[in-house]
Amino acid sequence: MKRSEINALLRRGQAFFDKHQFALPPWAAWGPSAWKDLGAEGDEIRNHQLGWDITDFGSGDFSRRGLFLFTVRNGRPGQGHKTYAEKIMIVEVGQETPCHYHFHKAEDIINRGGGVLVLQLWNSAPDGSLATTPVEVSVDGIRRRLDAGSLVRLSPGESICLETGLYHRFYGEGSTVLVGEVSQVNDDHSDNRFLEPLGRFPDLVEDEAPWRLLVSDYAKWGAGR
């Protein structure tokens, strides 16, 4: 992805958060120079990968296959007392987050506003493929039994609990969706199992200076101490 594309998406995403009155922490507005001046007091932000996160999963087409995220809080696997994470995400109409599951993380996915969030669900087979067995999920505390590959549509205010090993893909329907995630500790380096080989973080072409740093930028731009 080009840095100019990332910058444009960040500005558009910030406006969408503002529209839905989802306020971000003050450091979300920092530019690269502010991060360079930050000492060890910012280690939790950097080491726990809090902040802006945009990916096209290596597709080269963000609008078709991509995701816009901001990690608000997160722990580290097996370290400390913070055993939870929270993200806010933006999912566009027809924009797919590809099929994957998590080895360790269970998560609640919440439609916080906008359009409808559509999820497609399968159990995972022992060999990592899609199982044909029925799926059992909790939607706002109501247990549901579904056929493999079934679609679940979440309107604003509705949520679903995705347990470990449950394959899921999702996309927006009707209009752009503001999506919340509350989960166990998030680890995007080792806890994601995609059905097909994909890149989680984009390779960036630096055609202009960054407006905001992504979580994958911290070390590169001198934001690591």
pLDDT per position as a tens digit, 169-197: 999 999 999 999 999 999 998 999 999 98
Q: Does residue 222 fall inside a structural domain? A: no
What mean pLDDT comes out for the span 40-44?
A: 92
* 130 vs 36, residue with greater confidence: 130
Q: What is residue 222's predicted lDDT score, i.e. its pLDDT?
A: 64
Q: What is the pLDDT of residue 200?
A: 84
In a domain, 90, yes or no: yes
Position 21 scores a pLDDT of 97
Number of domains in the chain: 1
Written as one letter, the residue type at 66 is G
Q: Is the pLDDT of residue 225 over 50?
A: no
**Alpha-carbon gap, residue 91 to 81, rounded angstroms:** 31
Any residues with CB less than 8 A from the CB of 48 and at least 6 apart, and which?
71, 73, 74, 75, 76
What are the DSSP E strand ranges found in the chain?
A: 51-55, 67-74, 84-91, 97-102, 107-123, 135-139, 142-146, 151-154, 159-162, 166-184, 192-194
Q: What is the pLDDT of residue 105?
A: 97
pLDDT computed for residue 223 by the predictor? 54
**How far is residue 16's CA from residue 174's CA, in Å, rounded to a whole number?**
16
For residue range 90-99, list pLDDT tens digits in order. Answer: 999 999 999 9
Q: What integer is the mean pLDDT of 37-46?
A: 91
Can you say whether the dihedral through the CA atoms of 44, 46, 52, 58 is positive or negative?
negative
In a domain, 14, yes or no: yes
* pLDDT for 116: 98
Please give the pLDDT value at position 219: 83
On whether residue 224 sits in a domain, the answer given is no
- Residues of the domain holding 101: 3-217
CATH of the domain at 18: 2.60.120.10
* Domain-located, residue 143: yes
In a domain, 185, yes or no: yes
Is 78 a member of any domain?
Answer: yes
Q: How far apart are the first and last CA of the chain?
A: 27
Q: Are 170 and 117 spatial neighbours (Cβ–Cβ below 8 Å)? A: yes
Asked if residue 46 is part of any domain, the answer here is yes
